[in-house]
């Protein structure tokens, strides 16, 4: 890919407003969906790791389903659920005049659906692996459960949380199938980088290669970050 990169026209391609729009949209949506995934995923991981109730295994299956589901199928499922005629989408439309598909919010939802399991699975493993003794010690020192979670549990799983967040963000950034199915491909609104690459491949293969190079750079940077900060052997704490 590096060999085929049109280095001379690269600056022009990267200065193209459409490309910048796609890049900005990608970064904004991937970051937003990661934020949503952290807010929802950490409590969810805690529930999966620490509680026992009927239906827990069903919940776990649901959470991990997107990991094995083809993203396009995920997009179809989201459309069936949140589409204007979908189970949930109908009420959203009726009560709030609010539709998700083919909006930027829809992109975030699609990315979240596909990427959150990466975070949940990573963090759940960390919760399971954590020595409960530290939390017990905190409680005997007068810390409430919330304080214990905030001052002991979270800092101790921080490396895993960071790794899960980065994985989630990277997956969201590369999301294609669910996004194009559920949110469509309108420039500036739902056309993220992977979609732009796909589109460019039809009209301007050189631009596609250039765009791919940008995504490749971002991915490698993420991997390098992971390696140096969190995946170094013996750097667990």
Partner 1 sequence: MTGGTAGLVVDGLIERGSFSLRLRAAVEPGEVVAVLGPNGAGKSTLLRALAGLVELTDGSIRLDGAVLDDAATDTWVPPEQRPVGIVFQDYRLFPHLDVLDNIAFAPRSTGASRAASRATAREWVGRLGLTDLAQHRPGQLSGGQAQRVALARSLAADPRLLLLDEPLAALDARTRLDVRTALRAHLEQFTGPVVVVTHDPIDAMVIADRIIVIEQGRVVQEGTPAQVARHPATDYVARLVGLNLYAGTRDTASAVVNLDGGGTLTVSPTPGTDAEARRLLVALPPAAVSLFTTPVENTSARNVWTGAVTGIELLGDRVRVEVTGAPSCLVDITPAALADLGLERGTRVWLTAKATETIAYPA
CA 43 to chain centre: 16
Tokens of 178: 């669910």
In the complex with partner 1, the residue whose CB is nearer, 87 or 158, is 158
Q: Which residue pairs from 196-202 have beta carbons closer than 8 angstroms and sit at least 24 positions apart in sequence?
A: 196/18, 196/19, 196/22
At its nearest, how many Å lie between partner 1 and the CB of residue 144?
6
144 Cβ neighbours under 8 A, 6+ residues apart: none
At its nearest, how many Å lie between partner 1 and the CB of residue 234?
11
Q: In the complex, which residues of this chain contact partner 1 (CB under 8 A)?
A: 131, 133-134, 136-145, 147-148, 151-152, 155-156, 158, 237
In the complex with partner 1, the residue whose CB is nearer, 120 or 156, is 156
In the complex with partner 1, the residue whose CB is nearer, 128 or 151, is 151
In the complex with partner 1, the residue whose CB is nearer, 10 or 143, is 143
At its nearest, how many Å lie between partner 1 and the CB of residue 160?
13
* Alpha-carbon dihedral sign for residues 67, 70, 75, 81: negative
At its nearest, how many Å lie between partner 1 and the CB of residue 132?
10
- CA nearest to 107, candidates 155, 170, 60, 177: 177
In the complex with partner 1, the residue whose CB is nearer, 2 or 237, is 237
Question: What distance in Å separates the CA atoms of residue 113 and residue 36, rounded to the nearest whole number?
Answer: 10
In the complex with partner 1, the residue whose CB is nearer, 24 or 151, is 151
Question: What distance in Å separates the CA atoms of residue 222 and residue 231, rounded to the nearest whole number?
Answer: 12
HSE of 107, CA atoms in CB hemisphere, 13 A: 29
At its nearest, how many Å lie between partner 1 and the CB of residue 233?
16
Q: How far is CA 202 from CA 9, 26, 111, 199, in A?
A: 18, 20, 24, 6
Contact 114, 167 (CB under 8 A): no
At its nearest, how many Å lie between partner 1 and the CB of residue 141?
4
């Amino acid at each position: 890919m590096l060999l085929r990169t049109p280095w001379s026209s690269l600056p022009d391609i990267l200065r193209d407003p459409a490309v910048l729009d796609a890049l900005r949209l990608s970064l904004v949506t991937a970051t937003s969906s990661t934020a949503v995934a952290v807010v929802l995923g950490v409590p969810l991981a805690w529930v999966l790791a620490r509680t026992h109730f009927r239906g827990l295994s069903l919940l776990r299956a649901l959470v991990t389903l997107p990991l094995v589901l083809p993203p396009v199928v995920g997009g179809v499922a989201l459309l069936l659920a949140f589409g204007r005629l979908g189970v949930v989408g109908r009420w959203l439309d009726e009560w709030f005049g609010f539709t998700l598909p083919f909006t930027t919010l829809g992109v975030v939802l699609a990315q979240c659906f596909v990427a959150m399991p990466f975070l949940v699975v990573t963090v759940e493993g960390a919760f399971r692996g954590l020595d409960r003794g530290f939390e017990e010690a905190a409680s005997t020192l007068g810390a409430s459960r919330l304080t214990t979670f905030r001052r002991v549990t979270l800092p101790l799983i921080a490396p895993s949380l960071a790794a899960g967040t980065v994985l989630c963000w990277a997956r969201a950034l590369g999301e294609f199938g669910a996004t194009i199915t559920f949110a469509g491909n309108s420039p500036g609104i739902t056309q993220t980088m992977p979609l732009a690459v796909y589109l460019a491949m039809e009209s301007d293969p050189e631009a596609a290669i250039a765009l791919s190079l940008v995504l490749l750079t971002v991915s490698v940077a993420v991997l390098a970050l992971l390696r140096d900060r969190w995946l170094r052997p013996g750097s667990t704490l």
